[in-house]
Structure 1
Amino acid sequence: MTEKLDITGKVCPICLLAVDKELKKLSSGEELVVVCDHAPAATASIPEYCENRNHRCSVKMIENGLWEISITKN
């Protein structure tokens, strides 16, 4: 199952809190796809959060200033 979360227009720590809240709803192996326009969250905060919790995370820029972050829950 894949869930989507759009956090465009939000800044940290709201970005990270929203991701944490959504991931808690998922079971192991499920995916959360996040759309984010806040560079610090997309390139640092969210990937670091995932690494610390052993979730798989990949980040790609889908257009200038907009990222898609795919997280598979551990």
Structure 2
Amino acid sequence: MESSIDCVGEICPVPVVKAKIQYKKLKPGESLTVITDHSCTSQGLKDAFNKYNCHITVEEDGGIWHIRIKKLD
């Protein structure tokens, strides 16, 4: 399952809180993409998810960041 959260216009910690809630619903191998227009959100998510067994990738396109969090186990 691939899911996404649109957090454009929202500042931290809102995207982090929303991502944690959605992440708990994922099964291993599934991923969540957080879409944001704040560059600091990617670092906030990396910091918040460093205790989870997940893989995070960040792509930026025209001031919009797509932060993909894949649950490994």
With the length of structure 1 as denominator, give the TM-score of the two structures: 0.86
Pairing partner for 1:67 from 55, 65, 68: 65
Gaps of 5+ in 1: none
Aligned residues: 72
Percent same amino acid among aligned pairs?
A: 29
Q: Is the 8 A contact 2:60 2:66 kept in 1?
A: yes
Q: Which is richer in helix?
A: 1
For 1:21, the equivalent position in structure 2 comes to 21
Gaps of 5+ in 2: none
For 2:52, the equivalent position in structure 1 comes to 53
Please give the alpha-carbon distance, in whole angstroms, between the structure 1 residues aligned to 2:29 and 2:54: 9
Query: Is 1:10 matched with 2:10?
Result: yes
Please give the alpha-carbon distance, in whole angstroms, between the structure 2 residues aligned to 1:62 and 1:50: 23
With the length of structure 2 as denominator, give the TM-score of the two structures: 0.87
Q: Is the 8 A contact 1:50 1:56 kept in 2?
A: no
- Cα-to-partner distance string for 1:6-32 (whole Å, 9 max, x where unaligned): 111111111100110110111111011
TM-superposed deviation, 1:73? 1.0
Query: Is 1:41 matched with 2:30?
Result: no
Local SS of the residue matching 1:47: helix
Runs of 4+ in 1 over 2 A off after TM superposition: 48-52
Local SS of the residue matching 2:9: coil
Please give the alpha-carbon distance, in whole angstroms, between the structure 1 residues aligned to 2:49 and 2:58: 11
